[in-house]
Amino acid sequence: MEKLEHIGIAVKNLEESNKLFAKLLGKPHYKIEEVASEGVRTSFFDVGGVKIELLEATRPDSPIATFIEKKGEGIHHLAFGVSRIENEMKNKSAEGFTLLAQHPKDGADNKRIVFMHPKSTNGVLVEMCEDKA
């Protein structure tokens, strides 16, 4: 893994959270995007080259809605940038990490993504992401 790409934060209300984080960080978000397949709307802030991704559920059965119901708002995942996601998936799987998908899928911010199960990463949901070509 090459760098911390972003920190994902689950929120109940994206507009209110955008205002809060703009005030906290001293700058506005630069992008809002919906990923319909995941049932999520995202907003991005850039903080010194690391992104903060706010995630709001768009349907009650989405992973973000489930997360908020169980744990409340807060840090959802850490995402690390990789340059060859399929190779990283093979390597991490061989090293004993449990992947939550067999193939990368499209994510926000023009990325291909895959998550690792928190049970194999000390309770932290870890995402690997690669820029789409």
The pLDDT of residue 91: 96
Name which of 132, 133, 126, 131 is nearest 4 in CA terms. Answer: 126
Burial of 66 (0-12, 13-18, 19+ CB in 10 A): middle
Confidence check: pLDDT of 1 > 90: no
The predicted structure's pLDDT at residue 76: 97
Rounded to an integer, the average pLDDT of 118-125 is 96
> pTM score, two decimals?
0.93
3-state SS, residue 9: strand
pLDDT of residue 133: 80
